[in-house]
Structures are given as C-alpha cells and as structure tokens.
Amino acid sequence: MSRPRPRKSLLIGINYVGSQHELRGCHADVQNVAEFLTFRGYSNSRRSQVIMRDDRYTDPDGPMWPNGHNILAAMDWLVSAPGTCCFLHYSGHGGQVRDPDGYLENDIDDTIVPVDYETRGQLASDILHRHLVTSMAPGCTLFIVFDCCHSGSAVELPYVYRSDADGNVGLMDNLKIGVELIGEAGDLLAGGFSFNKLGEARELYGGATDFFRGLKHMGEAGGDEDGLQAEDEFQSEYGSENKMVTLFSGCRDDQTSADASIAGANVGAMSWAFLETMKRQQYPTYLTTLQMTRGLLDESNYSQIPQLSMGLEMDLDQPLVI
C-alpha cells in the first residue's frame, strides 16, 4: 500500500494595518482557508504549515511577518521537498509595476504587495515564477489561490482558462501565442535591418512576453544579430517546465478584486467564492470550480472574472488536485 504524499501549505493574509491602504478581510481569509485545509487532510503543525499575517499576534521582526524577504523565503520552503502536495493562498493587495526589461509603454508586471512595499517594493510576477515554479522540487504539485487585484498572470503560467457569463470556458495558450509572435517578429527583420522594422518587431515581441516577462526582450549592442531570442529558446524557458501548478486568481490582469462583506463577515470575494464552491462540491473538477466561482461572484454582483492558469495543458474535467 502506497504511503500518502506529504503536504505543506503557506497562507498569507495582509490587511496593511494602520496604513491608508488598509484592507479588512485578509486575516479572516487566511483563517477560513486554514480550516478548509485541515478538513482536507493538511496538517497545521509548524513543520507543515506557515501562516503569515500582519496582526498583533505576529512579531514584526520575526520570520512570519509578511514582508517581501520573508514571503520569498516561505515560498522557497513551500516547494523545496520532492514529492510534496503544496498549497499557497495569498489575500492582500495586488499591483502592477513597469517591467524594467520592457520596451512598450504599457509593458507592466503583475505583483503581490508585501507589508513593506513602500520601502522595499513589490514582488513581480517573474520573481514569483522563479521562486514557486522554476525552483519547485521534482514530483511536487502546487495549488495556488490569489485573492488580489491584477492577479490573472501573477505567476506567469502558460495556459489560461476563462469562463464567460454563460459558463463556457476558453483557453488562451500563451506559449503558442508567444512562439507565433516571435516568429513574426523575426520575419520582419529578415532581408535587411531598418528602424521601422525593428519598432514593429519590438511590438510583436513585447506581445509575446506578456506572461513570460522573465525572458530578455531584446539584445543590446553586441547581442544577438537580430536582437530577438529564437523560438526554441522561448519554448525551452517556459514550455519545457511542464510543472503541475494550478492558479485560481480572483480576476483578470486589468481588474480589481473586491474586499467584501458577506454574511456579516469581512472577507475577500474570491476567497469566499472558492471556499463556498468547495463546500457545495467536495471534489469538483477544475472546470466546475472555475464555473462555480464565476457564478457565485456574478450572483453577488461582483464584476471580477476569476481565471484558472495551469503550468501544463490538461483535461479540465479531471477532479481538482489539492
């Protein structure tokens, strides 16, 4: 008889207490998710679960305080043990910052916002990808729920699924789109260099990296002759990772995620909708979960559209792996 796989969880709830950007429901979200995980067989021992909150019970100088350094250290811990089922929940502010490698005026990275963001900055999507996906130990699975604004591509996963108001789900294959756009950009430069062509190529290439901002966009002087990375390099960077990573995010990149009051309690709308789905169907499929969370948010008059992002393409009719 095979032994059950070890499980680890990391739960982060930041209310930004005392700041002008204070939230109300993030600490409660963490508590609610912790109770759900206990019900689903996750241990709440210190060896298996880390909870980070900016409340009066947490030492601001200790390792559980949700500043940027501690969050990344906790993420490294979460995915460090081979063969582990890992669960990450984040409830707090999400933001967007200018991509330092970008070439387009609207080239921005999605972020999560640590409690010390005003002095140490935010955690951008390419950083989160490296710590959570690229660094994941062999045989691990990772399930993520992000309840924050602009969270659609916050971990830069290649396969994105969205549900419309009628429950129909469509796939946006960012790996395929990226390869096609890079090929088009290379074709523009073929047959002779020109500044006009280079400008068009940059626009196409920038589009190809919307979800893969960790890649270099263009070579500087002395770099690649055409200034573009080859298609196979693009694919090898992200297409070959094939990690079993699932992200349910509270909204698209261009949307905000609500801090809500439901049944008299302050909670995040996405966290509430996800947990409510789990209550109504104990073992739903990926498809059902996406459709039900969308439906619950619609019924409660929240305009945000939850997304499902995956590290590999798969049948959404399979039961959810948590």
Q: pLDDT tens digit string along 19-33? A: 999 999 999 999 999
- Residues 81-139: pLDDT tens digits? 999 999 999 999 988 776 655 543 445 678 899 999 999 999 988 899 999 999 999 99
CB 269 within 8 A of CB 304: yes
Distance of CA 178 to the CA centre of its chain: 19
Residue 266, pLDDT > 70, answer yes
pLDDT grade for 307, boundaries at 50, 70 and 90: confident
Q: Which pairing describes strands 141-147 and 49-53: parallel, antiparallel, or unpaired?
A: unpaired
Give the domain ranges of the chain: 7-172+242-310, 174-238
**CATH code given to domain 7-172+242-310:** 3.40.50.12660
Q: What is the pTM of this model?
A: 0.79
Write 42-47 long-range contacts (CB < 8 A, 24+).
Answer: 42/7, 42/9, 42/87, 43/7
The answer to which of 111-125, 222-236, 243-257 has the lowest mean pLDDT is 222-236
| pLDDT of 45 | 96
What percent of the chain lies above the pLDDT cut of 90? Answer: 45
- Label residue 302 exposed, middle or buried (CB < 10 Å: 0-12, 13-18, 19+): buried
> Residue 254, Cβ neighbours under 10 Å: how many?
10
Residue 276 parent element (H or E): helix 269-280
* Separation between Cα atoms, residue 190 and residue 227, nearest integer Å: 12
pLDDT digits (tens, 9 = 90+) for 144-177: 999 987 555 678 888 888 766 666 666 654 555 5
Q: How far apart are CA 183 and CA 192, in angstroms?
A: 16
Q: Residue 103 CA to chain centroid, in angstroms?
A: 23
CA distances from 7 to 14, 33, 38, 44, 246 (A): 23, 15, 11, 10, 15
Burial of residue 294, with CB atoms counted within 10 A of its CB: 0-12 exposed, 13-18 middle, 19 or more buried: buried
What whole-number distance in Å separates Cα of residue 69 and Cα of residue 137? 20
Predicted confidence (pLDDT) per residue in 175-196, tens digit: 555 555 555 555 655 555 555 5
Give the residue numbers marked as catalytic.
93, 149
Rounded distance between C-alpha atoms, residue 68 and residue 87, angstroms: 19
Asked if 128 and 70 touch (Cβ cutoff 8 Å), the reply is no
Tell me the C-alpha to C-alpha distance, in Å, between residue 99 and each of 27, 89, 91, 180, 217.
Answer: 30, 25, 23, 22, 10
- Whether 242 and 138 have beta carbons less than 8 Å apart is answered as no
Structure tokens given for 126: 């390419």
Is residue 256 very low, low, confident or very high in pLDDT (cuts 50, 70, 90)?
Answer: very low
* pLDDT tens per residue across span 38-82: 999 999 999 999 999 999 999 999 999 999 999 999 999 999 999
Q: Please determine, for residue 317, whether its predicted confidence score (pLDDT) is greater than 50.
A: yes
Judge whether 25 and 268 are in contact, CB under 8 Å: yes
Tokens encoding 110 = 């999605």
How many helices (H) and strands (E) are present in the chain, helices listed first? Answer: 9, 13
Residue 261 has pLDDT above 90, yes or no: no
State whether residue 182 is helix, strand or coil: helix
Averaged confidence pLDDT in the chain: 78
| Tokens 């801090």 -> residue | 259
pLDDT greater at residue 220 or residue 119: 119
